[in-house]
Amino acid sequence: MPTSREQYNTQGKSNNFIAAQESGKLTVGQAAKLLSKKLGQKITATQLEPLANEFHHAGRFGNNKAKRVFFLSQEQVDKITLKDIEEANKSQWGWILGFVREYGVYNRKRFVPFVAEVGLIPAYRIKRLGDKFHKLTEEESEQAKLVVGLELPPFCTDWRKAR
């Protein structure tokens, strides 16, 4: 049964969030504390986010929106090494797909895709962008910088077709 709005506001967490905690999964913040002790180096939660595959919503922050809280199992935490963390947090060359709201004929709303940003994107943003991030080589990114802000055809994910 889904959580009602009032229940969510009082407990501050979704039912899935609570179920994940009860099943023994650790938030990335809790995992970061354990790994900091284990590896002898300060590890932050944002460094572990790219390694997490599961998230649930919790809390109400700014504009009354729920934030994502990422989870790791104890087995995953035990297997993580410093090399894994460094590899997961490398910035990558790529471009970001953006959407602009446009009102057309008869005040009909449509979302127009465009090339929003091109460059070296930090790993924590890549994880949160999901399908909106597209990898490029360094050479391609130099060419793609010329089309930033240009519109793409509907359902297109190739920056070369921007006009």
Residue 124: band (very low, low, confident or very high) from pLDDT cuts 50, 70, 90: confident
Check: CB of residue 113 under 8 Å from CB of residue 98. Answer: yes
What would the 3-class secondary structure string for 107-136 be?
HCEEEEEEEEEEEEECHHHHHHHHHHEEEC
pLDDT digits (tens, 9 = 90+) for 26-78: 999 999 999 999 999 999 998 898 888 888 877 665 666 777 888 999 999 99
Domain extents in the chain = 5-88, 92-161
Edge-to-edge strands, sheet with 109-121 = 109-121, 92-103, 133-135
The pTM (predicted TM-score) of the whole model is: 0.68
3-state SS class at 91: coil
- CB-CB neighbours of 127 under 10 Å: 19
Output the CA torsion sign for 35, 37, 42, 44: positive
